[in-house]
Structure formats: structure tokens, C-alpha cells
Structure 1
Amino acid sequence: MRILACAFLALFLIIGGASAQFTPQSEAAPAEEAPAASVDDLIRLLENETARNELVERLRAAGGAENSAEAEAQAAEGTADPTIARQIAEYTRDIAEGVSATVGAVVDLGADVGDVFSSASTRDYGEITRVATNVAILAVALFASYFFLRAFASQGQKAISNRVAGRGWLARIMGLVGATAVDIAAVAAAWAIGYAISLYFLTGPTGRMGINQTLLLNAFLAVELTKVVVRAIFEPHGPALRPLPMNDTTAAYWYFWAARIIGLLGYSFMFFAPVLADMVSPTAAQALRVLAMLTAVVIGILIVLQNKHAVRNAMTWRANNGRHDALSKSLAFLGAYWHMIAIAYLIAILIVWLANPAEALPYMLRATVQSILAVIVGVVIISFISRFIHVGVRLPDDLKQRLPLLETRLHAFVPRVMQVVRTVTLIGVAIAIAQAWGLIDFLGWVASEGGQRVTGSVISAVIILLVGFLIYLAMSSWVEYRLNPNFGTVPTAREKTLLSLFRNAFTVALAIFIVMLALAQIGINIAPLLAGAGVLGLAIGFGAQKFVQDIITGIFIQLENIMNEGDVVTVGATSGVVERLTIRSVSIRSLDGTLHLIPFSSVDMVSNSMKGFSYHVAEIGVAYDSDIAEVKAAMQDAFDGLMQTDAKTAILEPLDIQGVTLFGDSAINVRARIKTLPGSQWGIGRKYNELIKDAFERRGIEIPFPQVTYHVGVDGQADALLTSKTRKRRKQKPEKIVDQPSIDRPEAADAPDAASRS
């Protein structure tokens, strides 16, 4: 009850004070003289129900009036619903007022210093001298001890660097950790020595440390530990421990300037400015801070201008070497204008700090650190991805033998995925930087209901795409393994054809299904797409009748199993080996190497030379005077010789001699057939023809060829010059004799005995 009474009393006094501001002066004076109600009076007031209700009503009325007055004030100022332009104007006004106040404080520094000297007579110079002497002694002892400790620490760090030189990255990381620990130990030891000296030898009359000594020790600890971090990053004296790829000169350069800026700002803000604020005035302290910040910004601008071209060349290196990805283009764009961005950033830090010294600098430093961390994380991820793309995927030898195309497929797919991941990483870095500087509230949007819905949909769509790719990879690998003749059962031509068709059809169906699911996850209604696909398919069916005919004919060709990949076929007027067979067309490689693509709608007949078994048909022409039995015996001898070679494994049955099949103009054809495995008939036929020629030569069987015999007659006695063999042939078949006119001879006795020529 007493706590509730105290709360009501405090609220009553606040409202009373607020209402007193709006009462006339004559009424406000007696209220100031009236004594405040005691707690007991308030308790008695609350115990009375009527009085308590009246007080509650008065409080409600006062609260409503106060809210109404506040709303009217906001409406009068136009801040109830501020526009973006008004917010920018107010922010600009605050910056201008802050800068004006800071500059005014610096201008008033002379008056403050004059006041210090005018009041010097009232100051205790002995106390000031004692404080300054103690601080000077502490500074000398602190920095001298740190100088010697750093010398020993540097020797230890060099020893660690020499020890890990040339070793792996794990040893280098452990060495860097050890060297950093040694550096931290040197700083901590120097700080402890200074703290002990100040505590046991430089205490004041009260036996306590002076505040200025504590400020110096704290500034030393903060500044030197920050320098330790910078030394760990650049390692100017330990190249083997350096995590960044730079030479000794570059590392020493950046460490030198970073250490100077850290020391300038750290000691100015953490030691000298508080001392000036205590001994001179806050204006003097602020003037020192402004001078330190201005000096640091000028140094930063000079460093930017000195490294303008070097940084630009480093950032445009990827683009100059022919790389045109998103990272290379982004770095090239930033490299052209990075110095302007850096100088604008430094000037913005100075202006914003001048506007709000208490809050602006910590905010910008925090945003800067977050941006640098985001860039570092992005660079690490992109470097890992680039190295992964460069190295590629290496599969075990056993897996490569089983799935020879898997590594090639991964090499074709992984770089594209990594490029997408690299682009997403760049976008993530940009979002992180914008979040750090308050340009967007991405985390707040993600935490909202709409953000969770969108991010969940995107993640679900990405997972669906990854699962679809894994299914495709598994299916393709299974088909590839099934078609590999070195493992499992050797696939037949029919299995090769069907598995290839299955892979193509499954890939198309899976792609459509996965894309539809992904679109459905990101909020796109796929029902109109399905309906549009049906209408489009119907329109294609009417407009592309040839295409439909190709597919229908291809389906029946596959059902009838008339040809498969690897078969030697004749399709129309084209003969060759089937290289690729789809549901719409067939690709045939002819004997001269030409690849023919034949749509099934133009196929009237398919002749397959490799279905089940094959025959080599030997049509041998012999002379009319040959003994047929002798010819058959020679053909059988040639077949027996063929069975003594490796070709016998492809011969299915004995030689089938069918006898005389044709009486030609100059020869009698004798036919024989050799039944072989599909596709072996050509090789066996060539070998059999060689053996036939040898067998005929051994038996003296003539293989005739079309010829014309010319007889040159002299004085009508051409017949007497004919040989007996020729006469015998003329009895069997008339010859075509062409008589040439007689040639004048000098003497009949000098004429040759025979003048015939065939």
C-alpha cells in the first residue's frame, strides 16, 4: 500500500509540476508555498473511496489533456507523420548545429585558456607539479619497460617465424598464435610494471593512485593491444607468419601508418583530452580531439592518394586477365573509383563526428568494422570457391572406371553452381554492409512475417533444385553404370537404346517437374502454366503435324524393335551405323564418315543387317569350261581354312553351298552362304574371299572377267591361226570377231606365221 501511495504521489507531483507551467503567475505562487502532502495524508486520501475516485478522474483528465496538447504540438510542427524530405532536413539541421557547436567551442578555446591563466593565482602549483611529475615518471617507466620487453618479444617472434618457415598452413597458424601470445604478454607485463610503480611509488597524500595515472595506464593497454592485432595482421618482421599475401615492404608500410593513427587517436582521446578537460577546460579537450581527428583524416587521405594506382591495378587484375564474371566486374568498377569513395568516407567520418562526438564515431566505427568483417568473410568464401573451381572434382580411380562420365559431368555442372554461389555471396556482402550502415533493415525484414515467408520460399526452391540435380545425377550415373560393359552384364543393343531413351525422357520430365515445384514454392500459381502448356501442346499438335508424325512413327519403331544403337541399317537411301536414336529421329553414320539425321516421318522402310544373325553370301563366277564339282570342293577348302582362324567363333553353321545360280555373259555363278553372328558377315566375307582366290589358283580354276577378243586376219586365213582352245570355246559360244582390212606387206614370205591378237 505504501509503495502504491508513493507511486501516486510521484505521479501527482509530476502532473502538478506540468500543470503549473500553464497556470497564471498569481495562482502558481501559492502552490509553490503550499507544503507537499505527506504519505500519510495520501494514504488516508486513497482509503476514502469517494476521494480516491475523484483523484482517478482528475488523473485521467490530466492525462488526456497532456496527450491532446502533445498531439496539437506535433500537428503544429508537422511531425505527426514526417516525410522523408523532412527527416533528411532535420538530420541535416542536427549535423549543422553539431558542427557549429564544435567549431564554436574551438573558437572559444582562447577565452578558456585566458580564464585558466587569470585564475592561476588561485591554483595550487605544488599539486599541479606533483601530478605532472608523477605522470611523467610513470610514462617513462611504462614505455621504457615496454621497449625492452618488446625487444625480447621480437626476438621470440623471429625465432617462431624461422621455425615455421616452409611448413604447412597449420604450423603457420599455430606459429602466428604463439607469436601473438608473446606480443600480448609483453604488453601485459609492461602494463603490470607501470601499474605497480604507480601503486607503490607514485601514490598521493591519500595513498591512492591519481586519476591521470590510471588514464595513462588504460590508454596504454588499449592502444598497444590494438597494435598487437595490427601486427598480427601484417607481421612486418615475420614473413612466414604473415596471413596476407604481401611483401615485407608493403607490410611494413601499412603497419607503420596504422600504428601511428592508432596511437594518435588512442592517446589523444583516452589520455590527453581527459587531462585537459580536468586541468584546463572541456573546450580545450574538445579542441584537442578535433585536431587529432583532423590530423588522422589528413593522413588517411594522403595514404589513399599514395596508393591510388597500386590498389586500382590490384582490383582490376582479374578483369585485365580476361575474367568477366560478376566479381571481376565489381572489383574493376570499384577499382576505378575506390579513392574517391575512401576520401568521401574519411570526410564523412570527420563531419559526422563533429556533429555528434558522443555517438557518431562509435556508430561509424562499429559499422566500419562490420563492413570490413563482411568483406573479409566474402573474400574468404569467394577465394575458396575460386580455388575449388580451379582444382575441380577428383574422383577415385575405381569410381571413375565404373562411371567414366561422372567426373566430366561434374566438371561441367559444378563451375556454374559455384558462379551462382559466388554471385549470391557478393549480394550477401552488399546486404551486410547496407545493414551495418543502417541503409536497410534486412534482419528486421527477415524476422517479419513477410520476410520469413519469402526467405522460406526461396530456401525451399533452392533445396528442390538441389534435390532435383541429385536425382538427375543418380539416374544418369545408374544408366552410365548399366551401359558400362566392364562391370556387370554386357548390355545388349536393345538395352542401350531403351536406356538412352529412358535417360532423355526422364531428364525432360524431371526438369519440368522440378521447375514447376520451385515456381510453386516461390508463390507462382502453376495452374495457369499447366493449362497454357496443354493449350500450347494442342496448338503444336495441329500446327506441327510432321513433328507429331515423327514421334508416332518413332514410338512404333521402338515398339517393334527394328533397330538399335550400333546396328548397321539402311533407312531409305542411306546406309550406315546407327549412332543416336531418339523418339523423333535417327542419326546414321555412313561409310565415308558423314552423319545423316533422318526424321521418322520420312522413313518408309528400315533394313537392319544385324538382327539375330547374318549371312555372308558368296557369289563366285567361274569360267564356262570349269568343273562345278571342282569349284565346290575349292569353296569347301576355303571354308575349312576359314574355320582354322579366329573367325570360327563368329560362324554359326557349316558352309551352305547352293550351287549354280546364274549363267552370265562370261561366267557361271556358284553361290554359297556362311551364317555368322550379327555384324560379323563383312569381316568373314573379306577373309573368305581371300581364301577362295588362293584355293582357285591351286586348283587352276579360272575366274573370268568380261572381255572382247579381236582377231586380225591375213588373206582370209584368220581361222587357221586360232588355237585349239579358242576353237573349243567358239563351239560352246559364238565369239564376236572383228575382221580388219588387210595390211600391205612387201613380201608374203616375210609375213609372220600368226597375226592374231586378243
Structure 2
Amino acid sequence: MVARMSDDQVRNLLLDRLDAVATTQTAQQSGKSLITIAQETWVAFYTPTLDAVSKLPVLFSKQGEALSNFQASFGNAGLLKLFAFMAIAIGAGLAAEFVTNLLSRRWQGDETPSEDATLWSALSFLARRFGRDILGLVAFYFALRFVGLTLLSPAELSFAGPFVTYLIWFPRLGAAISRFILAPHRADLRLVNINSRWAGFLHRNIIGLVLLGGFTLFIVGFDTANGVAINETRIAFWLNTAVHIYVALIFWTARAGLSEMMRGTDPDRSKFDEWVAKAYPYFAVAVALVTWIVVQVLSGSGHIKLLLTAPHYTTMFWLLLAPAIDTAIRGLVRHLQPPMIGEGAVAEAAYKATKRSYIKIGRVIAGLFVVLRVAAAWNLDLRNLAAAGVGERFAANFVEFTMTVATGYVIYELVSLYVNRQLAKEQTSLGVVEEDAAGGEGGGAGGSRLTTVLPLALVSAQTGIIVIFGLLAVGSLGIDITPLLAGAGILGLAIGFGAQKLVADVVSGVFFLIDDAFRVGEYVEVGGTMGTVEKISIRSMQLRHHRGLVHTIPYGEIPKLTNFSRDWVIMKLMFTVPFDTDPNKVKKIFKKIGAEMMQEPLFKDDFLEPFKSQGVFQFDDVGIVMRGKFMAKPGTQFTIRKEIYNRVRKEFDAAGIEFARREVRVALPGGDETKELTEADKTAISAAAGAAVQQQVEQKAEEELAAKAKT
């Protein structure tokens, strides 16, 4: 029948059959319930263990068989020749390494930092030493390889290559890396926060762990090459289990030292950092257990080839290293972060916030790197997880969702980092006057325009980033965001119609900020309400009265705003002296005080114009009113006023000038007979005088209120 078909008919028939097979397989896979999948996973988990236990009696005999096959393939003379040539090659490698170390030590020097060495001098020394170690290992490898290729046959190299790589080169490389990080014999050069006891313990056991892992990989390849399959002895099961148990024992035994190492020396540790430090040893034990379980399930499911490249060791390495990378990130940020801008609580808070932003960005990048390394170890293409048995659409959407969220988070932190750093720079460069320095009267100097606008810009930018990347992330999951956008538009219209007052407040606030009518920290008056601008939002502002009251005023309700703290302030002081005082004498005193204060380091930078006399202001019923004035920076006028009052009082005392006092004189008929007044008469006279004074005070208060109402 096929012979009678045309090419197109055969092609269509073949495609139909392939589609039918694919549909059947998909139906079989999708038809499994969760219970069935769990049962199959459980069987795959315990099957390798039972199989390994059942084959334990033949483990050593089969291993002897592999050794016998190895000996038979080369013969006694061949084995002697093999090991002799390997010894020569290893000796040549060691000689090359020795010469390389001598030359590199001569070129780079071997200066040992003193015990009070800085981080960079210690790091420089350790890097030079690590570089010499690696250079020596490279020389060892190439010399050994050159001699080995010259002396050994391909069959002999198939044994010698893995033997040297797994049992000599890898452990020595691990020892070099461990010596660089832990410096077990030099506590003053150690890069991590751990004592010498635990540093030496970890250094020795890291070498032992690498050696055990290398032996596991070597023996599996050795048995396979010599006629003993992996499933005949299950030696890989026992050695792999030993590796995972060894890892768990190391981290459990050294949990105190590892927690201290993870804690680091940064004084600005967060609660999350403390929690990670305490949980790290237990996390490591859990990683060892989980990776062992994964190996068991994969082995029981028949995915032996997937485990031949030891992806579980790579996974375990990077997962165990991830918290240590986090500690390294915190250490690098601490030493590489630019110095704190300015001084004070604001600068310190901004410095800590900047540090946390750098750490968060580093954590995201490190997390993505670890995920990529683990995926590469298992030969997973994150863009095509369908090849690993995951739904193609779900895989693509999940990866895109993760990358979108990570990108948005990094951008969010970068924007926050930049804005917060600029805000701290502006705030600390202004030298904000403390409330006590302002005498508790308000009217302090405001911040710059950026200090007012940047917080709103930061909130707006953060909100925009969250909304944009949130929608992109939702869209990457395959969800149509068009209805969301339409709903947001309808909601916006509803808000626009139903909250016109809110829209008016927001629009008014935008124009107030564009006009630079006020800034945070300035003293303003809005419709008779006075206070310091303490906080602003997109809808309203908060004024803090100097008595502690907080007034919240929507922008749309501000008819007129008076700013008392912009650029400069003039303060006029009045002093009442008796009628017989010489005004010129008072002028000279004011001039002297102004000149002296302009020379004072505490006040000279706050003056814009010195304190000087304005002459006689008026006469009242008490004496002559003399007025003086000065121009100063906003927020400093009250401190200057206090000092001027103190100095005027001292100078008046030195010059014999008294301040005029309000007096009430009572004219009595027959004034010459006042000495004969009784106590009752004196009491009546005092009451009449008090009533007269009270009447004058009330009259003056009414006049002041009337004058203020007119203005």
C-alpha cells in the first residue's frame, strides 16, 4: 500500500502517525493523578537504597573484579611501567610548580603585612599568594600533561588523567581557595569573621571533602571502564551518601563558627542578616539532605546519565556558597561604599539606607547568577524548560515573569539609591538649624528646592515602577492586561468625577511646587495658621506650630501663602529708656554690639547685615523708644536676638542706663500730708492705681488687635 502511495501521501501518513503517538503519550502523562505521581516518586526514592543494600554482599567482590580487569588489561609489567611513568610525570609537574613558585615569589615579592594591616594590604597579600598558588598549579598541570602525553599511551592516559585530576589537582585547588579565604594560620589576614579553631577545622575538612568527592567520581569512571557497571555494585550510592553525610557533619559540627562567620563584622546588621547567620548551618544540612534525595529519585527513575557529570555536587556547592556570597557582598559594600555625606542623624540614616540598597541589588544579581549556574549544571535551558518535562507555555511564562520582576526590583532599588543619596547630600549641605537653636519660636531656614521635590519624586517613581513592571509581569504570565488597563481608565474617570476636590488639591499642589512657594522646613502662614512645613504629600501639607500643634492643610484650600523663611529675614528690636537718656549714647552702644558680634565665630556667618541703631522710634508715656535692626539668615534670628538682648543689658548696666519702667502716679490733695496716711488709705490708693493700669493694658491690647486686623 505504501509503495502505491505518492510522496505527499506517505509524508501525510507519517505525520498523522507521529501526531497520534504524541497525543497518546501526552494523555498518559496528563492522566496521572497527584497520588500516582507521589507514589512513583516514593518508589523511585527508596528503590536505589534497597538495591544498594541488596548488592552490598557483592560490592567488594565486584570491586576486586574491576581491579583484576584493570590489571589484566595492562599486565604486571604494564602496571609497573604505568605507575613509574605517572610518578615521573607527577615529579615533573611538582618540579615545574616549584620553579614557578620561586620565580613568582621573586617577581611579586613576599612582603608580609604587619599585624595591624588594613583590609586592602591583607587582601593584596592574600591575592598575591593565591595567584602564586594558582600559577604553580597551572605549571604543575601543563608539565604533567606534557610529560604524560609523551610517556603514556592513550589507554594509560584514560586511567592516569582522571586519577591526577580528581585525586591530586582538585584537592590542591580546593586547598588553595580555602587558604585564600580562611587563612588558617594567619588570623590577622583572615577575610572572614571566624576564629583560628574553626578556620583550621574548615580548611582541613574542605580538603577532605573535595578528596572524597573526587574519589567518588574517579571510582565510578574506573569501574565503568573496567567492565563493572554502576548498577552492579551501587558503590556510587554509598560514596555519594558518604559525601552528603560528610557535608552535614562539617556544617553541624562547626555551626557556631559558621554563624559567626555569616554574621560578619558590619555593625549595621539587619534582623534578616542575624536570622541568616543563625540559620545558615541548618540550611547547609538541609541542602545536603535535599540534594541526596534528588539524586535518589533521579537514580530510581533511571536518569543515571544525568548524574554522571555530578550536577548535584555543583548544585550543592553553589547553594552552600550563596549565603557566603551574601556575606561577601555586605563586606564589599561596607568597604567600597562612598563615604557618608555630611554629619548628623540625617546623613547617617541616608548612609545606612544607601548601604542596604547596594546590598539588595547585589543579592538579586547573586541570586540570578546562582540560578543560572545550577541550571547549567543540570543542562537546563531556562528559555526552553519544556525539554525538561515542564509545559512549554508555563516554562516560558515563568522565566519571563521572574526576569521581569528581578529587572523591576533592580531598577526600583537603583532609583531609590540615587534619589536618597541626592536627598542626603542636599539635606546635610544645608546645615539645618536645630529647634533649640531657633529658640522654639519657629521660622527656621527651609531646605533646598530639591529636598522638597525629591521625596515626592521618589514616591512617584517607585509607584510608577511598581505599576509598570507589575503589569509587565502579569502580562508575561499569559494574562491579558487589556481589561486591567481599561478598568484602570474607568476607575480614573470615576475618581475624576467623584473626587474633584481631590484632583483640585493635587493640581494646586503641583503648581505650588512649580512656583517654589514653600519648602520643607520653612516657616509659613496660611490663612492665619502659622507653622513650619514639616511634611508634604501630593494632596496636602503639614504645618508644625512652634507650640507643637500640627495643622494639615489641603493645597486647594490655600488662598494665599506667606513665607517667612525665604532668603533673608529682618528683625527689629525696641528698647525703652527714660526721657533723660542721651539717644547718641544708645546708638554708640548698638554699633559697638553689632561690630563685636560680627567678629564672633559663632554669629558672624549668620549675619547678612550687622545690628545697628535706627534712632528714636517714638515717645510713649514711659520714655524714649529706641529701635535697632539686623538682617540674618532665616532660622538664626532668634539666637541672635537672645544674644543682643543679653549684651544690651550688660552694656546699659555698664553705662548707667536703666530701662524705663511703667509707673502710675497718683495725685492726692494735700500731698504734703502723705506721711499721715493710714493703712486703709494706702490700700485704697493701690487699688485705684491697679485699676488704672489694667485699663491701660486692655486699651493697648485692643489697639494692637485693631491694627493687626487692618493689616
* CA distance in structure 2 between the partners assigned to 1:304 and 1:377 by the alignment: 13
Structure 2 residue ranges without an equivalent (≥5): 63-70, 114-123, 185-191, 193-197, 387-391, 433-442, 476-480, 597-608, 682-711
Shift of 1:175: 0.4
Task: Say if 1:389 and 1:414, in contact at 8 Å, map to a contact too.
Answer: yes
Please, which of 586, 590, 605 is the counterpart of residue 642 of structure 1? 590
5 Å-filtered alignment, 1:97-246, equals 132-145=75-88, 148-149=91-92, 152=95, 163=110, 168-185=125-142, 187-188=144-145, 191-192=148-149, 194-195=151-152, 214-235=154-175, 239=179
The answer on 1:266 being equivalent to 2:218 is: yes
* CA distance in structure 2 between the partners assigned to 1:704 and 1:179 by the alignment: 96
Using the aligned pairs only, state the percent identity: 8
* CA distance in structure 2 between the partners assigned to 1:99 and 1:704 by the alignment: 105
Aligned to 1:385: 329
Please, which of 406, 419, 424 is the counterpart of residue 360 of structure 2? 419
Shift of 1:135: 2.0
Structure 1, residues 395-415: CA drift from partner, whole Å, max 9, x if none? Answer: 49xxx4799977853531341
* CA distance in structure 2 between the partners assigned to 1:424 and 1:498 by the alignment: 35
* 3-state SS of 1:650 partner: strand
Paired AA for residue 532 in structure 1 = L
Structure 1, residues 240-293: CA drift from partner, whole Å, max 9, x if none? Answer: 6988977455444443464366457536744x6645x4xxxxxxx338962643
Aligned residue pair count? 588
Task: Say if 1:568 and 1:609, in contact at 8 Å, map to a contact too.
Answer: yes
Aligned to 2:625: 671
The answer on 1:255 being equivalent to 2:207 is: yes
Structure 1, residues 272-319: CA drift from partner, whole Å, max 9, x if none? Answer: 6645x4xxxxxxx33896264355346436635643622555665548
* CA distance in structure 2 between the partners assigned to 1:694 and 1:311 by the alignment: 78
CA spacing shift, 1:684–1:191, aligned 2, 3 Å = closer
Shift of 1:224: 0.3
CA spacing shift, 1:379–1:335, aligned 2, 3 Å = closer
CA spacing shift, 1:438–1:82, aligned 2, 3 Å = farther
Task: Say if 1:164 and 1:172, in contact at 8 Å, map to a contact too.
Answer: no
Task: Say if 2:171 and 2:207, in contact at 8 Å, map to a contact too.
Answer: yes
Aligned to 1:365: 309
CA spacing shift, 1:191–1:615, aligned 2, 3 Å = closer
Aligned to 1:429: 370
* CA distance in structure 2 between the partners assigned to 1:682 and 1:457 by the alignment: 60
Structure 1, residues 470-519: CA drift from partner, whole Å, max 9, x if none? Answer: 7746874796599579xxxxxx9898576654445544554555544444
* CA distance in structure 1 between the partners assigned to 2:219 and 2:564 by the alignment: 95
* CA distance in structure 2 between the partners assigned to 1:571 and 1:233 by the alignment: 76
Paired AA for residue 643 in structure 1 = K
Aligned to 1:47: none
The answer on 1:737 being equivalent to 2:677 is: yes
* 3-state SS of 1:642 partner: helix
Aligned to 1:290: 233
Aligned to 1:203: none
* CA distance in structure 2 between the partners assigned to 1:185 and 1:563 by the alignment: 69
Structure 1, residues 684-734: CA drift from partner, whole Å, max 9, x if none? Answer: 45433444444446xxx896687999xxxxxxxxxxxxxxxxx99974996
* CA distance in structure 1 between the partners assigned to 2:48 and 2:660 by the alignment: 117
5 Å-filtered alignment, 1:53-68, equals 55-57=3-5
Aligned to 2:575: 618
Task: Say if 1:392 and 1:411, in contact at 8 Å, map to a contact too.
Answer: no
CA spacing shift, 1:184–1:534, aligned 2, 3 Å = same
Structure 1, residues 657-681: CA drift from partner, whole Å, max 9, x if none? Answer: 533x22xxxxx43333334436466
Task: Say if 1:315 and 1:334, in contact at 8 Å, map to a contact too.
Answer: no
Task: Say if 1:638 and 1:688, in contact at 8 Å, map to a contact too.
Answer: no
* 3-state SS of 1:82 partner: helix
* 3-state SS of 1:234 partner: helix
The answer on 1:310 being equivalent to 2:253 is: yes
Shift of 1:229: 3.4
Paired AA for residue 234 in structure 1 = G
Structure 1 residue ranges without an equivalent (≥5): 1-14, 20-54, 113-127, 196-212, 278-284, 486-491, 623-627, 663-667, 710-726, 742-758
Shift of 1:637: 1.3
CA spacing shift, 1:369–1:388, aligned 2, 3 Å = same
Task: Say if 1:579 and 1:588, in contact at 8 Å, map to a contact too.
Answer: no
Paired AA for residue 160 in structure 2 = F
CA spacing shift, 1:707–1:229, aligned 2, 3 Å = farther
CA spacing shift, 1:481–1:94, aligned 2, 3 Å = closer
Q: State the structure with bigger RCO (CA 8 A, min sep 6), 1 or 2.
A: 2
Q: Which has the larger radius of gyration?
A: 1
CA spacing shift, 1:380–1:350, aligned 2, 3 Å = same
* 3-state SS of 2:76 partner: helix
Structure 1, residues 414-448: CA drift from partner, whole Å, max 9, x if none? Answer: 41452354256446635753675479955547998
* 3-state SS of 1:655 partner: strand
* 3-state SS of 1:617 partner: strand
Aligned to 1:300: 243
CA spacing shift, 1:434–1:235, aligned 2, 3 Å = closer
Larger deviation, residues 131-140 vs 315-324: 315-324
CA spacing shift, 1:673–1:109, aligned 2, 3 Å = closer
Aligned to 1:82: 28
